[in-house]
């Protein structure tokens, strides 16, 4: 009988996902709360044909060279900026991600963060909890209007479109967007979104939501120069990736009220958060939870498991990122 392939689950996942994988593989798990360093990851990957990653594990040429048995890396995130995909393809290693299953949940959270930021939900709660609420007053925590205001979206993939539909159909918001490529007229009509260049997006948006993937090209896509072009009354929401916003420049813009407020779910160098962001009042901060509902996080982990099983057992991964590896 052929030996079953060995795989590593690089961060703790739900027990039913482990059980599903154990039906096909020798499985090494990772205890809850443990995050492997690169050296530990390389050590644990010796002899492994596959690994389930979460999006935080860097997969680059050095790791691939040190793990010659590796055939597939299955990310349970949709974003895969932790992959050096050309290096993976060169090494004949398949990468997969977890698209679609988190689109609507992440769009819900984008809207939640927009609402919390514009309407100053966490700032006013801190005030109340601190016992500072002495009387009702007309302008107490008066925020920015959401319904009917102009929503700008930078990055118009599946999640951006799901947010645009909520904004246009549910909140009567004019939606403008900028993206590497323009949507088809049918898709633009479905989410009632108008394509504009980046300068116009920055200038016109009352609320600017970032949903673009991180890459060298999108590094600091929003920095001091871009923040200076936004309205002083605008809010900025980042549910995309840390590094797309220059967090230090944003902290300055928030402190000096060059924009009104920001809502951030992702950070440069997370889980560290730029210390200046922790001291400005007009920012809502959440720990990378945009896709975090139990059904969605479960679907993401199952999709990653299905990619491992689909590829290593059946030769047919579900959501391959570099299918040229399959042809080779
Ligand atoms: C989460 O950030 C993801 O990319 O799925």
Q: Answer whether 161 contacts ligand 1 (Cβ < 6 A).
A: no
Please compute the mean of the pLDDT values over residues 301-324 and round it to a whole number: 98
> Is 270 known to be catalytic?
yes
CA of 289 to the centre of ligand 1 (A): 9
DSSP string for residues in 214-231: PSGGGTTSBSHHHHHHS-
Whole-Å CA distances, 3 to 18, 24, 135: 19, 10, 72
CA of 130 to the centre of ligand 1 (A): 34
- Using most ligand atoms within 8 A of CB, pick from 52, 106, 158, 321 the residue to mutate for ligand 1: 106
Nearest CA to ligand 1 atom 4: 79
Which atom of ligand 1 is nearest the CA belonging to 241?
2
1 belongs to a structural domain: no
234/89 Cα distance (integer angstroms): 42
Residue 323's CATH number = 3.40.50.720
State whether 107 and 89 are in the same domain. Answer: no
State whether 158 and 172 are in the same domain. Answer: yes
Q: Kindly report each contact of residues 222-225 with a partner whose C-beta sits within 8 Å and lies 24 or more positions away, as own/partner.
A: 222/154, 222/246, 222/250, 223/249, 224/249, 224/252, 224/253
Report the pLDDT value the prediction gives residue 2, as an integer from 0 to 100.
63
State whether 145 and 220 are in the same domain. Answer: yes
Which atom of ligand 1 is nearest the CA belonging to 266?
2
pTM, two decimal places: 0.96
Count of domains observed in the chain: 2
CA of 30 to the centre of ligand 1 (A): 20
55 belongs to a structural domain: yes
State whether 201 and 270 are in the same domain. Answer: yes
Which position among 166, 288, 297, 302 bears the catalytic label?
288
Report the pLDDT value the prediction gives residue 258, as an integer from 0 to 100.
98
State whether 135 and 275 are in the same domain. Answer: yes
Closest CA to 262 of 228, 292, 239, 294: 239
State whether 224 and 123 are in the same domain. Answer: yes
pLDDT digits (tens, 9 = 90+) for 236-285: 999 999 999 999 999 999 999 999 999 999 999 999 999 999 999 999 99
Which position among 119, 120, 241, 297 bears the catalytic label?
241
State whether 173 and 36 are in the same domain. Answer: no
Nearest CA to ligand 1 atom 1: 77
Q: Which domain holds residue 277?
A: 103-285
Report the pLDDT value the prediction gives residue 230, as an integer from 0 to 100.
98
319 belongs to a structural domain: yes
> Is 169 known to be catalytic?
no
- Using most ligand atoms within 8 A of CB, pick from 56, 79, 82, 270 the residue to mutate for ligand 1: 79
> Is 288 known to be catalytic?
yes
pLDDT digits (tens, 9 = 90+) for 103-159: 999 999 999 999 999 999 999 999 999 999 999 999 999 999 999 999 999 999 999
State whether 59 and 116 are in the same domain. Answer: no
pLDDT at 1 over 90: no
70 belongs to a structural domain: yes
State whether 126 and 172 are in the same domain. Answer: yes
Do residues 153 and 239 touch, judged by C-beta distance below 8 A?
Answer: no
13/76 Cα distance (integer angstroms): 10
pLDDT digits (tens, 9 = 90+) for 30-39: 999 999 999 9
Nearest CA to ligand 1 atom 5: 77
313/307 Cα distance (integer angstroms): 10
Report residue 328's pLDDT band, with 50, 70 and 90 as the boundaries.
confident
């Amino acid at each position: 009988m052929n030996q079953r392939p060995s795989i590593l689950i690089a961060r703790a996942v739900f027990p039913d996902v482990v059980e599903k994988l154990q039906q096909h593989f020798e499985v090494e798990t990772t205890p809850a709360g443990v995050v492997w360093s690169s050296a530990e990851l390389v050590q644990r990957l010796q002899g492994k044909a596959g690994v389930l990653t979460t999006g935080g594990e860097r997969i680059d040429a050095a790791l691939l060279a040190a793990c010659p048995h590796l055939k597939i890396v299955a990310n349970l995130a949709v974003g895969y900026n932790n992959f050096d995909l050309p290096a993976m393809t060169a090494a004949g290693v398949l990468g997969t991600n977890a698209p679609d299953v988190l689109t609507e949940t992440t769009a819900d959270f984008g809207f939640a963060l927009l609402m919390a930021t514009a309407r100053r939900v966490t700032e006013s709660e801190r005030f109340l909890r601190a016992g500072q609420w002495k009387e009702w007053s007309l302008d107490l925590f008066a925020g920015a209007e959401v319904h009917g205001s102009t929503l700008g979206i930078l990055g118009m993939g599946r999640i951006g479109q799901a947010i645009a539909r909520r904004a246009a159909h549910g909140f009567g918001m004019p939606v403008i967007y900028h993206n590497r490529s323009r949507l088809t007229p049918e898709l633009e009509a479905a989410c009632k979104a108008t394509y504009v260049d980046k300068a116009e997006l920055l200038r016109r948006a009352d609320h600017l939501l970032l949903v673009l993937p991180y890459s060298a090209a999108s590094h600091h896509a929003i920095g001091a120069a871009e923040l200076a072009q936004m309205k002083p009354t605008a809010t900025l929401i980042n549910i995309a990736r840390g590094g797309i916003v220059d967090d230090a420049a944003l902290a300055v813009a928030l402190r000096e009220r060059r924009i009104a407020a920001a809502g951030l779910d992702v950070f440069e160098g997370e889980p560290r958060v730029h210390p200046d962001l922790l001291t400005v009042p007009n920012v809502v901060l959440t720990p990378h939870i945009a896709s975090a509902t139990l059904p969605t996080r479960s679907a993401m982990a199952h999709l990653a498991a299905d990619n491992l099983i689909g590829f290593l057992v059946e030769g047919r991964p579900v959501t391959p990122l570099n299918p040229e590896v399959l042809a080779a």
